[in-house]
Amino acid sequence: MPVERTESLAAVLRAVRSNRGITQPMLIEQVGWGRSVVATRIAELEAAGLVTTAGVGPSTGGRAPRQLRLRSESGLVAGIGIGATRMEVGVADLSGRLIARAEDPIEVADGPEAVLGHAEKVLDGLLARYAGGRAVWGIGVGVPGPVEFATGLPVAPPIMPGWDGYPIRDRLSRRYDAATWVDNDVNLLALGELHANPAAAAARDFLYVKIGTGIGAGLISGGRLHRGTNGCAGDIGHVAAAETGGVICRCGNAGCLEAAAGGAALAREGRWLAETGGSPAMARILTAKGSLRAADVTTAAHDGDPAAQALLIRAGQLVGGTLATLVSFYNPALVVLGGEVSRTGDYVIAAIRESVQRRSLPLATRSLRIEPATLDEATGLTGAVHLVVDELFAPQRLARWLPHNTPAGRPELAAKEAA
């Protein structure tokens, strides 16, 4: 398919996806292609079953123009979000709207056979109930570790024993005969926010920072996810951070941000305070439960425990110090904070804001906003389904499957040479 035709098809489809009820005159103005080109591309997309009429728009003299919409009901995409201790599985239409989702506790350390086997059973159940004869067009998977995006292979993930180099994409592609993409969970959380949060979509340049068991960032630049050459852009949890006390990280290095400010660090420090008499509130929690998690530190802080409050504030200051460097370097319009630790109220967020404002360049923070995430997700399920839709409708990939009217049954579309 000629490049010009591919680009114009993708541009028209992108505009229809983004603006339900858009008309042909509006498309001509928005995409910058001529009337005859736009009319031809609309006809091609209608013939392929991707676009349909959605009523008529206001007349400006003469016949009222047709409004257009994506035929989102034509196919399904699936998402699997794998976290350290829980998993989300869902099916969505071609707009990325989740039709059904399920959540189960898991232990990612149990390995890929156990975790993916469970995910497949859950997905099979959702498809049996909600597919209604529609084919699966693609699958998106998020995992809590580094992923080489071109191959879909996890690479030395610190909290995922047994997953290094495991062929997640190949396994799911074979089982469901569908193109499959695998990415780091924080990248997918950033994508989900881009599609679900109007402020993030308007910002176009923003950072998504997940502060949970680990710490990571997703970078959105010009409305697109920036993965870097090998797919590990944004792995800020393992940058060397000042004032960490040289704590040994699970990656084997000393002084990583995650080792001092992540959820595991909060649990470790909270337990130490409970056992040494530094926090009666956390001591009571430890006695009652026999263990102490980051969420328990938050509970103690909300109950007025000064030691717990100090732990959260220090974590926020450490994260804020690293983010200040990123803000000065990248100059985003927005920083979105997600993850369990960021949902602790003002203790962490206020400390992050203060550190960023104090340590970043004034011009970089002039219009910067630092806000909590709008999606209450830990695994990036929303981003996983949007990843699939974005990849399927990308110009070069669209050109490969559009002559067949469907990408279903074409798992090779996710391969590197198809990009």
Tell me what the pLDDT averaged over the chain comes to.
92
Q: Please report which helix (H) or strand (E) contains residue 183, including its range.
A: strand 179-184
User: In the predicted model, is pLDDT for residue 32 greater than 90?
Assistant: no
| CA angle, 263 then 100 then 116, to 5° | 55
Contact 100, 129 (CB under 8 A): yes
- Work out the number of other CB atoms within 10 angstroms of the CB of residue 20: 13
**In CATH terms, are 76-191+378-418 and 203-372 the same topology?**
yes
The answer to whether 209 and 349 have CB atoms below 8 angstroms apart is no
DSSP run (H or E) holding 221? strand 215-221
- pLDDT value at residue 418: 42
Tokens 């699997």 locate to 80
The strand pair at 206-211 and 215-221 is best described as antiparallel
Q: For the domain 76-191+378-418, what is the CATH superfamily, name and number?
A: ATPase, nucleotide binding domain (3.30.420.40)
Give, rounded to a whole angstrom, the gap between the first and last alpha carbons of the chain: 15
Does the structure show a pLDDT above 50 at 419? no
The values of phi and psi at residue 43, to 5°, are -60, -40
Average pLDDT score over residue span 235-253: 84
Residue 392 and residue 179 in contact, taking contact as beta carbons nearer than 8 Å:
yes
What CATH number has the domain spanning 203-372?
A: 3.30.420.40
CB atoms within 10 A of CB 282: 27
Question: Which residues does residue 183 pair with via DSSP β-bridges, in sequence order?
Answer: 142
- Output the CATH code of domain 3-70: 1.10.10.10
User: What local confidence, expressed as pLDDT, does residue 60 receive?
Assistant: 66
Q: How far is CA 313 from CA 20, 217, 355, in A?
A: 44, 20, 11
Domain boundaries, the chain: 3-70, 76-191+378-418, 203-372
pLDDT-based confidence at residue 206 (cuts at 50, 70, 90): very high
Q: Is residue 23's pLDDT more than 80?
A: yes
Return the HEC string of 110-150: HCHHHHHHHHHHHHHHHHHHHCCCCCEEEEEEEECCCEECC
Asked whether the predicted pLDDT for residue 289 surpasses 80, the reply is: yes
Q: In angstroms, what CA-CA distances link 71 with 19, 94, 97, 132, 323? A: 13, 8, 12, 15, 41
Question: What pLDDT is stored for residue 283 in this prediction?
Answer: 96
